[in-house]
Amino acid sequence: MQKLLTTRNADMMKRLHSFLQRRGVPVTVSEHGNQLELWLVQSSYSALAKDLIAEFKADPDGAEAELEQASQASPRAQQTPSLVQQLLRQAGLLTIIYAVLVSLVFALLNTQLAMPLFENLRISDSFTDLPWLQPWRFLTPTLLHFSVLHFLFNVFWWWYLGGRFERAYGSLYLLIALVACAVFSNVMQFMVSGPYFGGLSGVVYGLFGIAVVVAWQRPAHPLFLPIGLIGFMLVWLLLGYTDLLWVNVANTAHSAGLIAGLVLGIAIRVIEHINKTNTAHGS
């Protein structure tokens, strides 16, 4: 995250925050003592954000009026976005690509290609040897889903959590999270139960762990999760260790993914703190 502005003027900050958000710039506001700080969530918007702030400072009323006129002049602004448009707005490129891959593999697993596909995507052909000569297998079990409910549950949470994470931090960060959580959760599950498992749940719980840490006590953060949702995810995790669920659950992958996500979330908070400190010292 990048600090854009510091002020004591709450009304101006409120207007500027709204102005930038309406222009599609991902920003958030935090309090530091008696100061309000405007932070840019995704660094790729830095140049646009600075230009818009300069425009707003030069003539706040004019900038807001121009934005309002543009909104009224655009026919699309008068239309309610379709469900597909709303879903696409909630995700980034990597989120979409991986969801499509998971969907394609699920469709193929319900054809005559199911067995050769599973044999090539499972983590290993052995119960004891990790696939060091075929490293993609550390990741590919995340593409395997064996029931409609399993598939829908994981794709939904991947889109919800992964999409928000990618929109906030960028595709590179999501790729790192995907690989780290997938490899750790898949290896841990393999060591416990062998190669006959699959699913994106370890990554989903990893993204959940990241969201809990980076947005903890930060309700304005784009990854902030309500306490009810956090409770649901934890209860579902614990239920997997009982005999109450009607499906087989890769519990180790879930728990390992969550642990990996918590660690990544802490790392992101540390990086944000370092960047914030360096920015404060440089200003």
Backbone dihedral angles phi then psi of residue 2, each to the nearest 5 degrees: -130, 130
Distance CA 142, CA 137 (A): 9
Residues with active-site annotation: 201, 254
CA distance 41 to 221: 9
Closest CA to 161 of 217, 200, 107, 189: 200
Residue pair 42/167 in contact by the 8 Å Cβ criterion = yes
212 contacts: CB under 8 Å, gap ≥ 6: 225, 230, 261, 262, 265
Torsional class of 273: left (φ above 0), alpha (ψ -120 to 50), beta (otherwise): alpha
Strand, helix or coil at 38? strand
State the first-to-last Cα distance of the chain, in angstroms, to the nearest integer.
15
Distance in angstroms (rounded) separating the CA atoms of residues 150 and 144: 10
CA 5, CA 112: separation in Å to the nearest integer?
Answer: 59
**Sequence-separated (6 or more) residues with CB below 8 Å from residue 220:** 28, 29, 30
Among residues 92, 90, 277, the alpha carbon closest in space to that of 177 is found at 92
